[in-house]
Amino acid sequence: MAENVKVVATNRKAGFEYFLLERFEAGLSLQGSEIKSIRAGQMSIVESYVDIENGKDAWLIEAHIAPYEQANRFNHDPKRKRRLLLHKKEIRELWNGVKQKGMTIVPTRVYLKDGRAKIEIALARGKKAYDKRAAIAKRDQAREQERESRVR
């Protein structure tokens, strides 16, 4: 990670619910009070997802950016759609990936890079229940080995 990066929000559940295949960095089109809330760490992307309209525009949906208290009447809607700033080639690549069965686009983290809000999104395939159980078993086994190595 670069020096000028401050992670604001992460979606830890995404790695458990999906196989994250390919990652992209996108800019966020924000209103004035939204960037102030993000800098204060008041953002959640747990229930959010990315939608591509007509293969041309990418939108971040259901991301919650808390209202900025000092903005009073000039505040923003916390759950509004926000446009993602991507190159046409990247949008086309994501669109082709989503057309495949079982593929989706999930946001994994939001961070500030050189003073600008960026979001990392991933092309993902949903995990089945047995995949999730295997991941839990593997994590528990690694935790148990870590405990045993500390005791010795």
Q: Is residue 134 part of a domain?
A: no
Number of domains comprising the chain:
1
**DSSP string for 81-98:** -EEEE--HHHHHHHHHHH
- Looking up residue 100, the CATH number of its domain turns out to be 2.40.280.10
25-70 residue pLDDT tens: 999 988 878 888 888 888 889 889 999 988 789 999 998 888 877 7
CA dihedral (14, 117, 94, 45) in degrees, to 10, reads 30
137 inside domain = no
Domain that holds residue 119: 5-127
Supply the pTM of this predicted model.
0.79
| Residue 107 near residue 45, CB atoms below 8 Å | yes
Residue 152 in any domain: the answer is no
End-to-end CA distance of the chain: 34
Task: Identify whether the C-beta of residue 18 lies closer than 8 Å to the C-beta of residue 125.
Answer: yes
Smallest CA-to-CA distance from 47 within 92, 1, 79, 94 is with: 79
